[in-house]
Amino acid sequence: MTDRLIKAGCFLVVVAVITTPGCSPEELHRLLLVSFDGFRWDYLKRVPTPNFDALMEEGVRVQQVENTYITKTFPNHYTMVTGLHAESHGIVANEMYDPDLNLTFSMDRMDTYDPRWWDEGVPLWVTNQRAGHRSGAAMWPGSDVEIHQMYPTHYLPYNASVSFQDRVQKLIDWFTQERPINLGVLYWEEPDESGHRLGPDSPLMNEVIADIDGKLGFLLEQLKKAGIYDEVNLVVTSDHGMAQLSTDRIIELDKYVSSNLYTWIDKSPVVAILPKEGKYDEVYKALANANSSMTVYKKEDIPDHYHYKHNDRIMPIIIEAKEGWTIMQNKNGTFMLGNHGYDNTLPSMHPVFVARGPALRRGYSKASMHSVDLYPLMCHILAVPPAPNNGTLGSVRDLLKESAPPTAAPPTPARGESTYAPVLGSLLGAALVVGFLFVFVKQVTRKQLPSLPIGNLEIAQPLLQEEL
């Protein structure tokens, strides 16, 4: 009888250890976020896209994603991973000036690595690592910057010459190594570059779109080969769309105001103007009603729905071109056939969004969402507590299966601190079971064993000592 009890007790100990919440790779909720820069939502209608179609059939699609204003690359990539509007996370444009820092930020010059530009937001990889997990980033804007004193666990410094295949392979390696990541983010520069050069309406864009679908197919195949296709929640999206431009729709500011009166901070289609000292009124009056194809805003008059005026990096005067129009100082500048940055309510500015995975519904289509809602959705899938954000999980909860992971998560450890809660929980559970087992065995043996002489009490003495 006693042997059976001991065996049963050992079984209970094993069960207690196994069922206590832990952080083994099998238990982590995994997510891979992929951005194809400038992939407009309706590009999927242009050519056959069998790999995108497969994702939509197996997962979810959102028809219209309203991204953040201005609809440029850096602001929107940071919005996706912070859940914040540009005025809140501080990356307000691809080209910025900070009057407090007296510094200029420029994507073209790649002087973007000062953490002070980025610290107004908390990106997803920092959120994930603060919860004790591991992240990997392949060229995502900002992921090679030390934000809040933290890099992703693994990351690739930005290098446009690194192929898509190599970026994917790095992420696969990180997902399958001995200490795997549970979060990956991947960025690819196309079809944005071709959209600028060719214009989105060009028939030549069809080949570019088909190539992106082929790259997505490569990613899916590598996930399958690695045996993690059905374990990883895959989100494929973009930062913005693209509008067709024309040389017949150019606004030259030199016709209305001298360039000596202001500094040109950010370029078309939303031009940021910093008037020279004492020249604010003169510049504004010269531009306010100069051309019906552009709207000139004083910073304080920018529409509230843009969420784009409460930050010092937003300039005193903003000029917004109508869709398809280009603002230049004069025609000596570089002209592109496609551009983005316009009003974020325009369908031409909206990006693609498809996703599939164990936390997501199958074959489900949603009419619309806001890009700020993606961050709380991803935190929910990863089961990590989100940082303060402008998004709402409730707005996108319908994308999730009923059995989606809970949002509750263990307390966030201090920066650089290991997460010991799962281990301590396992030991505590085992100790409780062992304690109850010893008490139970003692009571049974007292009833079943013959009375022992007083000199043999040492048989029971160790049990009594362990109970003290």
Give the residue numbers marked as catalytic: 73
Closest CA to 98 of 274, 281, 253, 270: 274
- What sign has the CA pseudo-torsion 282, 287, 290, 296? negative
Backbone φ and ψ for 333, nearest 5 degrees, come out as -80, 175
* Spatial contact of 347 and 367, defined as CB atoms under 8 Å apart: no
Cα of 400 vs its chain's centroid, Å: 17
d(CA 327, CA 331) in angstroms, rounded, equals 10
Instruction: Quote the tokens at residue 136.
Output: 């990997």
Q: Is the peptide bond before 25 cis (omega within 30 degrees of 0)?
A: no
Contacts of 356 (CB under 8 A, 6+ apart): 55, 58, 59, 60, 233, 234, 362
d(CA 381, CA 396) in angstroms, rounded, equals 12
**CA-angle at 11, arms to 10 and 17, nearest 5°:** 90
* Matching residue, tokens 């010059």: 109
